[in-house]
Chain A
Amino acid sequence: MSMLRLALPTKGWEDDVLRFLGQCGLRVDRSNPRQYRARMRGLPTGPAEVVFQRAADIFDEVNAGTVDLGITGYDIVAEHRSEEDDVIVVHGELGFRRCALVVAVPEGWVDVTSVSDLAEVAAELRVNGRELRVATKYANLTRQFLYDRGITYFELVEVSGAIEAAPALETADIICDITSSGVTLRENRLKMVSAGAVLESQACLIGNRRTLTDDDERMEATRAVLELMEAYLRSKQQVSITANIRGESAEAVARSALSNGGVAGLRGPTIARVFPKDNAENGLAAQGDWFALTVVVGEDVLLPTVEALRRAGASEVTATQVRYVFEHKSWTFEALKRQLHGPSDAQKTVARSSS
């Protein structure tokens, strides 16, 4: 009996990742918050073993196969990937911890607005016998990004501590680092350059090719994890609306609802007959029967949909947040199976910049 092993990131990630899992219906139990081991419940296949690790180490743990799955940042995955690793991206967009890896220069460099200016600045520095020093923790992505843009003269500087401080401390000229809001950059008097986005990132789920392939039980548990994550992510910002509408027949109500603009939902409205509680007293109403119409729409069109339903004759309308939207199968699990059993070499490419 092999238990699914999952690595979760600590150090500033914990709240986000536990909230996300909770929303997916996966509960992580640990006796006290300083424990590095825990159980995750909510899977029909039984509990999964959880280890907490630094986000930066999770890639290596998954690659080594000491855990089967891990949640970490896509930026970390892209930087640590190699062609011959055992890591596959099982779900690339978990929808939280969004950030971008960007090139930023001192605000005082008023002549630099885009990456192309950096090629000239690098040449200018070189004439003065210096190299453009770039502070980063993302050496592979940064090097490739600059090479792809015709910038070959630079030096990558390893900085311990805050990357953003490097230009002010003059240990580097510019930086390449992750940012989500840009506040830290501004506080350090740095600015992004246009076309300087190396990579867009968010939290992602990665897995070990070998340990998943070898073990049916872990695979089955992985399927459950993916079902829940996928259905939760699909449900985000979706509301289920139910309205009572009077009409001649279910068909007539449907026609009226669809013709009043955008009450189509995921596939089309569901319409069911309502049996009013006062029917017995008043006899059958002359104006027709009552129907309950249910439709799932995006939150952004909640009010327009309510308006459309009113025009179609709705009286009471209720709306509830949708928690999961399951489709007829889990697409990410299907994709995972293809990755595991497809040609291993051909599909793998080292993640490169977005160009």
Chain B
Amino acid sequence: MLGDRTAAPIQRVRGTNDVLPPDDARLRQLEGLLRQAFESFGYQGIQTPILEPLELFLRKSGDEIVARMYAFSHWNRKLCLRPELTASVMRAFVDDLQGHGLPLRLHYAGPSFRYERPSRGRSRQFTQVGVELIGASGPAADAEVLHLACASLESAGITRYRLVVGHLGAALQLLGQLGMSDHAQGLVLDQMEPIARGRVDLESALSRVVDLLGGAHASTNGVASAGVPSLPSALASLPPDQATAIAADILSRASLPVEGGSRQPRQIIQRLLAKAQRPDPTNQVRAAFEFVAELHDAGGPPERLATDLRPVLEKRGLSTAPVDEITAAVDLLRAYGPLSPEARIEVDLSLARGLRYYTGLVFEIYVDSDDGPLQVCGGGRYDDLVRALGGREAVPACGFSYGLERVDLARGTPTQLIPARPRVLVVGVTAADHPAAVSLAAELRSLGNVVVEQDLRLRGVKAALRYADRADVALVVILGERERADGNAVVRDMRSRTETTLPRADVQRAVGEALA
């Protein structure tokens, strides 16, 4: 018992929102509309748990996402709230749907969680609504997904938007050509996005990544003076077995027994020697970032792909397949029918999406407003994810998701998508009239396209009418002792403020007509 003391109110968790009426109805309608659009293309709904093993997102999501997850340990099991749904849907595919005929078209909607600074259009809990197209590759599949992303948005009333298309193939090829390790590639990819958007300048991104890679002098280890090669790099020129033996000997003479607890001395020395042979990462990382900046600068409308972007790849001896794939997908997208005349397509090969699992075409949709661009959608191709999550064989896949709240925000004024149904309030004058009022209300509900509320506070007609005014009720049906005795009911039209007394049997028809 709390007694008479007022209990302190409990605040909701920062960065989360209560969705109140009528916002809830509007958001659910919006979600329904988007899902309806997906279903007309043969996509079927799927639900996955909000709670997932942490491991699911560590595999392929990328550091940017991992660092923002709600992760915790519950009875020694590492869990997290999902930061996005693609990995979950693909886990479900690997779990249960691998035998299914392909392609498999799935759509989903549900809350996701990221620990980020809350701002306009960004909450720590948000709703992703999206699709995954599993088992189809190439421009044909990419184009369907691109079209679905644009067309569904248009069906929700957003016609003025920017579709930005990129392709991870360009950057991944270059990183491979530069011979960067997986770890280094990941760090570079994570910085592509901030660089392209001008959130960080190239030099500070460079020094961050070089720092994370062990700095400009990663290969010198200990006290090497200028001109004299350090011990590890001198040993690195010997055959591996010999080098390992010499290193172990020197270390034990220096009474530095190489004991790593859980690590084998051999592993430690081999890594030491491997590290010594590795070049200074600064130049590689710089080359990668300069390439990213060049890709960004060469971006523009798809018509300029051949003239502006193709040469950037050719110049470095990289395959132009990414450019060809985008061209083919965008051409096919047009075959689906014209986009809204206010929609624009841009190509930007520096687009990286901040998720590590993308492998091919990627895209984002922005709605520009006075408050700056609002990203409402993002997606792309991720052909390696099924294997990374333990699938039997590689399965090509692509998809996208909207941020539901952002789509809602981008629609502008919060209007209902579907007009609200008219409301009727049925009032029994006293408690004795209440049972009859309840059955009358049940009868009226069978009209279908009408909301029928029952007065439950039983505080009389006056109070009920006051409520009806505030609650935007169109008609009030009143039953009192006299009406019941006469077999009548009173129908009051709140809009015209007129009252009619009708035989009980005619009430349903009259209400239906009044609201028609």
Interface residues of A (CB under 8 A from B): 83-84, 106-111, 113-117, 119-121, 123-125, 130, 133, 144, 147-150, 152-153, 167-168, 170, 173, 194-195, 345
Instruction: Give the chain B neighbours of A84 by CB distance below 8 A.
Output: 11, 13-14
Which residue among B218, B258, B259, B260 has the maximum number of chain A CB atoms within 10 Å of its CB? B260
Known: A110-B258, A130-B262, A152-B63. A116 touches B269 (CB 8 A): no
Instruction: Give the chain B neighbours of A168 by CB distance below 8 A.
Output: 261
Determine whether B430 belongs to the interface, using a CB cutoff of 8 Å to chain A: no
Determine whether B199 belongs to the interface, using a CB cutoff of 8 Å to chain A: no
Tell which of A107, A125, A147 touches B63, judged by Cβ atoms closer than 8 Å.
Answer: A147
Known: A116-B218, A345-B14. A111 touches B63 (CB 8 A): no
Tell which of A106, A116, A150, A167 touches B186, judged by Cβ atoms closer than 8 Å.
Answer: A150
Q: Chain B contact residues (Cβ within 8 angstroms of A): what range?
A: 20 to 34
Closest Cβ neighbor of A107 among chain B residues: B256
CA distance A173 to B187 in the complex (A): 24
Tell which of A106, A117, A149 touches B275, judged by Cβ atoms closer than 8 Å.
Answer: A117
Tell which of B183, B257, B269 touches A123, judged by Cβ atoms closer than 8 Å.
Answer: B183
Interface residues of B (CB under 8 A from A): 11, 13-14, 58, 63, 66-67, 183, 186-187, 190, 211-215, 218, 221, 251, 256-263, 265, 267-269, 271-272, 275
A157 to chain B, nearest CB (A): 12
Q: Is A108's CB under 8 angstroms from B268's CB?
A: yes
A108 to chain B, nearest CB (A): 4
Instruction: Give the chain A neighbours of B263 by CB distance below 8 A.
Output: 109, 121, 124-125, 173
Known: A123-B183, A153-B58. A147 touches B67 (CB 8 A): yes
Instruction: Give the chain B neighbours of A195 by CB distance below 8 A.
Output: 211, 215
Q: Is B258's CB under 8 angstroms from A116's CB?
A: no
Q: Is B262's CB under 8 angstroms from A152's CB?
A: no
A318 to chain B, nearest CB (A): 49
Instruction: Give the chain A neighbours of B215 by CB distance below 8 A.
Output: 114, 116, 194-195
Instruction: Give the chain A neighbours of B251 by CB distance below 8 A.
Output: 110
The 13 sampled A-B contact pairs (Cβ below 8 Å) are A84-B11, A108-B259, A108-B265, A109-B260, A115-B212, A116-B213, A119-B212, A123-B183, A133-B262, A148-B67, A150-B187, A173-B262, A195-B211
Tell which of A108, A117, A119 touches B257, judged by Cβ atoms closer than 8 Å.
Answer: A108
Closest Cβ neighbor of B231 among chain A residues: A110
Closest Cβ neighbor of B257 among chain A residues: A108
Instruction: Give the chain B neighbours of A111 by CB distance below 8 A.
Output: 221, 268-269, 271-272, 275
Instruction: Give the chain A neighbours of B272 by CB distance below 8 A.
Output: 110-111
Instruction: Give the chain B neighbours of A106 by CB distance below 8 A.
Output: 259-261
CA distance A314 to B47 in the complex (A): 87
CA distance A124 to B183 in the complex (A): 12
Known contacts A106-B260, A114-B218; 14 further A-B pairs (Cβ under 8 A):
A108-B256, A109-B260, A109-B268, A111-B268, A111-B272, A111-B275, A113-B221, A116-B214, A124-B267, A148-B67, A150-B183, A150-B187, A173-B263, A345-B14
Q: Is A117's CB under 8 angstroms from B260's CB?
A: no
Instruction: Give the chain A neighbours of B271 by CB distance below 8 A.
Output: 111, 120-121, 124
CA distance A153 to B271 in the complex (A): 19
Q: Is B256's CB under 8 angstroms from A110's CB?
A: yes
CA distance A161 to B391 in the complex (A): 43
Q: Is B14's CB under 8 angstroms from A116's CB?
A: no
